[in-house]
Structure 1
Amino acid sequence: MQKSASSDLGSQPISKLLIKQAVPASIGILVMSLNILVDTIFVGQWIGSTAIAAINVVLPVSFFIAALGMSIGVGGSSIISRALGADNKPKALKTFGNQVALTLMFTVAFAAFGLFFVDQLIPAFGGKGVIFDPAKIYYEIILYGVPILGFVMMGNNVIRAEGKPKFAMYAMLIPSIGNLLLDYIFIGVMDLGMAGAAWATTGSYIAAFLFILWYFLSKNSELKINVSHFKLQSNIVAEIGSLGFVTLARQAVVSVTFLLVNNVLFDFGGETSVTAYAIVGRMSMFALFPVFGITQGFIPIAGYNYGSKQYNRVKEVIYTAIKYATVLAILVFVSLMIFPDVITRLFTTDLEVINVTPNNMRWAFAAIPILAIQLIGAAYFQAVGKALPALLLTLTRQAIFFIPLLFILPIYFGEFGVWMSFPISDVLSTIITAYFLRREVKLNLNKRLEDA
């Protein structure tokens, strides 16, 4: 039965299969995003707006370390999907075992590094002035749980590669729901403040880890590894690294972007501008959850069918995913343009923050309708094992365009230049990705079909 779960990726109709894969992923991302939003609302209403800024300062560090697990998961899952598609189960098992070993080594090492340099890292990421003390409290507790989150992110991607989107969804629901319950207990009832918010998040990571451990030990998973699979194999590690580096680079750039934007906004508008960016940042994952869900559903389908040489199905899933994601992105765009004031008031009662955030939010999300092309295009190259184009296209949005714009535009437009940078970089990166994706379909997929 486990065998048929992955083989469905190469046999079911693409539209049905994409919905089957994308809906659980979207639900998981939605609940996780709602968790982040509600968590921020709890913190803002029960502790204060400065606490929102403090959490936003910590996110780049914790995201980067958690991204180590995610990158190992995504890189290895691309190999697993293609190996299962090519009926090469031994390679899939060895890959999974190497993923576990790599996740343990890297997440623990970087968490230890982050804790050792806590007093230097927090100010560097914008935790200055009154933000420093609450940020340090939150940071130190969160980093104890980040290695556990790394395993959760790695395991979640492997579950999806097996063709089990519902279990991957459960793995995302558990920490989200658990965090909200623990927020209420630790912040609302026990009045533990920032420490309560941090322990709630860490406790939710532990709950998710226990679920994923149960999944792989149970009969639900077809990847039954033993101790021999943990021994690192150079060619597999190299392939995991090259493909996973795409995800790691993206998350690293996100961390750097948070650092830069927090510092630039602090110079222009102080804590108020940093808090406004924190709210916009929270909304970004929530707003794009259906697009991210379709992207996650798309990856194992594209990888499996590429591995089994069903190139017509690969083309079909590319076009179908872009079409579905674009329609949903337009609906999200309309909502954000109409209701930014309502959204802002959910997070805070601070009138200064309420006055500046809505217009900034509109600018930050102005290019959402076209972003599906960029996300799906970059994800395709990662899914089929083409690390270099995947890396370059992934970095176009923030590293190649956004960061230079962040330094240039504020010189001429002040703080407004920061917010203008978001849609301009989105448009430019989408144009570049569309060109290379179209070229790939024409020169690679169509040529392989002609030669078959």
Structure 2
Amino acid sequence: MRPWRRKPGGTGAGREQIAALGTEPMGRLLLRTCAQTTVSVGVFGIYALTNAFFVARGVGPAALAAVNLLAPVLLAVGAVSTAVGAGGASLVSRSLGRGDPAAAARAAGNAFVVFWVCAAAVGAAGLLTLGPLLSLLGATDGTRGYAHDYGQILLAGTLTSTGFSSLMRAEGRMRFSTLQWVLPVVTQMCLDPLLIYGCGLGVRGAALGTVGGQTVSAAMSVWFFFLQRARPYRVTLADLRPHGPTLRRLLGVGVPSFLVGSGATVVAGLANTRLVAVGGPLAVACFALCGRVGTFAAMPQTGIAQALQPLVGYNAGRGLAARAEQATRLALRATVGYGCAVCAVLLCAAGPVVSLFTGDPALHARAVGALRLLALVHPCAGVAPLVCARFQALGRPRPAYLISVAAVVAVRVPLLFALGRFGTRGVLVSFPVAELATALLALLVLARGRAAAAPAVLSHGPRAEPRGGQEGAGAHG
């Protein structure tokens, strides 16, 4: 089969969307972009909450604890998708910024291939070793059956577990990126009650609902990247061929995100294991419930970091250093301000929030106190991911490596072991303390990075406009 040929040109609408990243007032641009990315991840956060609600209410606390035991496995797959998404988005936005759509298409195609290979490997390995894996993750007699049923289905669906929305944002397609989250999540939210209650499938229904939504997302991404014509580039079969220099740059920029995700996997696994030892399945269920609430509450911070990447990457590619720095400053203020606000809300409303998800008196009593402790995470939670996103967007992975590795090896794991000796409360307290230390480390690295010599992409002043209106040109089909 021969790949279709790339056609020159692109559409006026596509060029305008990309050009806006370098011309629209930064405050307004960041607000608009953050709103769309926050809606995207916020919708997924709503699904995480409703999924916890359906499992807890429809199956029971033991099933909710079992689902949470598999969180490290899901985080591992998510770490791969985040890594290739961050690396690919950085290459795509900077390539489009300098008027090179062919390089953008090659970066996107190679990102697809890396994810597919890694996801297939994780899924196959997980299915082959699921029994021992569940023992390692702390499964007990009360949770093993639920976790096995849930894990089998999710691991079988790993190839569909990302829609590459970060690559869509990299070319300024914020609306479709939002739709890429909304439609699959709506699908999942409709399937969950139908399969859990209507078909009586329990945790299997929750897993099937998740994979069903992921399949919708994967189908949308294939249409967007490989078939849609109204874009500055289109991925061809030739772009799927591994290209050494592109792969090295993609992985070099994306691996810090993988390390962050892998670190979250390790910390979640250690926390679950410790909670099983000191508090039993009820402590794990409590942690799972608070984790879902915390994940939803942190979604706008994730949205801010996602919004920052294409703004910094595109403007770096065009040599607009001042705009890239302005975007970073505004995003830092936004993420800290939001974190303080959500912390205050959770401290005041922990009881009513927990009541939404459980009527079990024992679980409710423990979850309220835990949620108040974990609320202290939020003021600092968005700082390190945002700083890492900024360096990755600039194509400077080393500072992001430092933050992501040190946060796990020197901060989170040691604090979890040290404070975990004091029981369940010690495990919970380790999270806000670690978040504060990680945020301070990230700000120190950011300050040193700004003081150091500017990266080559920002050192030559603004670039000239591409000749012949070629910005954003490329395959449009």
Normalised to the residue count of structure 1, the TM-score between the two structures is 0.95
1:280 lines up with 2:280 in the alignment: no
Counterpart-to-counterpart distance in 2, 1:385 and 1:451: 16
Instruction: Confirm whether residue 178 of structure 1 aligns to residue 187 of structure 2.
Output: yes
* Deviation sequence 1:171-213 (CA, Å, 0-9, x none): 1112211111001211121111111111111111111112222
The whole-number CA distance in structure 1 between the counterparts of 2:188 and 2:80 is 22
Q: Which residue of 2 aligns with 1:39?
A: 51
Aligned counterpart for 1:127 among listed residues 132, 135, 139: 139
Which residue matches 2:221?
212
What is the CA–CA distance in structure 2 between the aligned matches of 1:227 and 1:429, rounded to whole Å? 42
1:314 and 2:324 correspond: yes
1:440 paired with 2:452, answer no
Letter in 2 for 1:16: R
Alignment counterpart, residue 115 of structure 1, candidates 127, 140, 156: 127
What's the % identity of the aligned pairs?
25
Question: Pick from 149, 153, 168: which aligns with 1:137?
Answer: 149
Q: Is the 8 A contact 2:387 2:443 kept in 1?
A: yes
Distance 1:98 1:197 in 2: 32
Cα distance, 1:445 vs. partner? 4.7
Query: What residue number does 2:272 align with?
Result: 262
CA contact (8 A) 2:85 2:167 kept: yes
Q: Which whole-Å CA distance do the structure 1 matches of 2:383 and 2:76 have between them?
A: 25
CA deviation map 1:135-156 (0-9, x unaligned): 0000001111121114x2xx21
One of 151, 158, 161 as aligned partner of 2:167: 158
CA distance in 2, matches of 1:158, 1:92: 9
In 1, the alpha carbon distance for the partners of 2:19 and 2:138 equals 48
Partner of 2:89: 77
Aligned position for 2:8: none
Contact 2:312 2:327 survives alignment (8 Å): yes
Gaps of 5+ in 2: 1-11, 462-477
Of 293-302 and 321-330, deviating more is 321-330
Instruction: Give the AA of the match of 1:269.
Output: G
Report deviation, 1:250.
1.1
What are the Cα deviations for residues 84-129 of structure 1, in whole angstroms up to 9, with x where unaligned?
Answer: 1111222111111111222221211221111000101112112222
Give secondary structure in 2 for the equivalent of 1:339: helix
1:361 paired to 2:409: no
Classify the secondary structure of the residue corresponding to 1:253.
helix
C-alpha distance in structure 1 between counterparts of 2:180 and 2:211, whole Å:
15
Higher helix share: 1
How far has the Cα of 1:436 moved from its partner?
Answer: 1.5
Q: CA deviation at 1:3?
A: 2.2
Q: 1:10 aligns with which of 22, 32, 35?
A: 22
Matched, 1:50 2:62: yes
Pairwise CA distance, 1:251: 1.1
2:118 aligned partner: 106
Q: Secondary structure at the match of 2:382?
A: helix
Residues 1:373 and 2:409 aligned together: no
Measure how far apart 1:451 and its partner are: 7.6
Match in the other structure for 2:244: 234
Paired position in structure 2 for 1:188: 197
Shift of the 31–131 alpha-carbon distance from structure 1 to 2, 3 Å rule, reads: same
Q: Which residue is 1:290 aligned to?
A: 300
1:385-424 superposed matches below 5 A? 385-411=395-421, 413-424=422-433
Aligned residue in 1 for 2:3: none
Instruction: Please tell me whether the aligned partners of residues 66 and 146 of structure 1 are also in contact (alpha carbons under 8 angstroms).
Output: no
1:431 aligns with 2:440: yes
Distance in 2 between residues matched to 1:220 and 1:334, nearest whole Å: 44
Q: Distance in 2 between matches of 1:255 and 1:196?
A: 24
- Quote how far apart the aligned CAs of 1:312 are: 0.6
CA distance in 2, matches of 1:438, 1:79: 24
Higher relative contact order (CA 8 A, sep 6+): 2
In structure 2, how many angstroms separate the alpha carbons of the residues matched to 1:24 and 1:220?
Answer: 20
Residue matched to 1:21? 33
RMSD: 1.8
Q: Structure 1 segments of 4 or more deviating over 4 A?
A: 445-452
Native 8 Å contact 1:22 1:294 kept in 2: yes
1:449: Cα distance to partner? Answer: 7.9
The answer (yes or no) to whether the contact 2:317–2:457 under 8 Å persists in 1 is: no
1:282 and 1:391 mapped to 2: Cα distance?
27
CA displacement 1:395-416 (0-9 Å, x = unmatched): 44444311111111223x2222
In structure 2, C-alpha distance between the alignment counterparts of 1:112 and 1:135, rounded to whole Å: 17
- 1:301 shift after superposition: 0.3
| Corresponding position of 1:89 | 101
Size of the alignment, in residue pairs?
Answer: 448
Answer whether contact 1:122 1:132 (CA < 8 A) is retained. yes
Following superposition, the deviation at residue 240 of structure 1 comes to 1.0
1:255 to partner: Cα distance? 1.3
Partner-residue secondary structure (3-state), 2:143: helix
Counterpart of 1:189, as a letter, is G
Counterpart CA distance in 1 for 2:74 and 2:34 is 26
Evaluate the alpha carbon distance shift between residue 279 and residue 3 of structure 1 in structure 2; reply closer, same or farther with a 3 A threshold. Answer: same
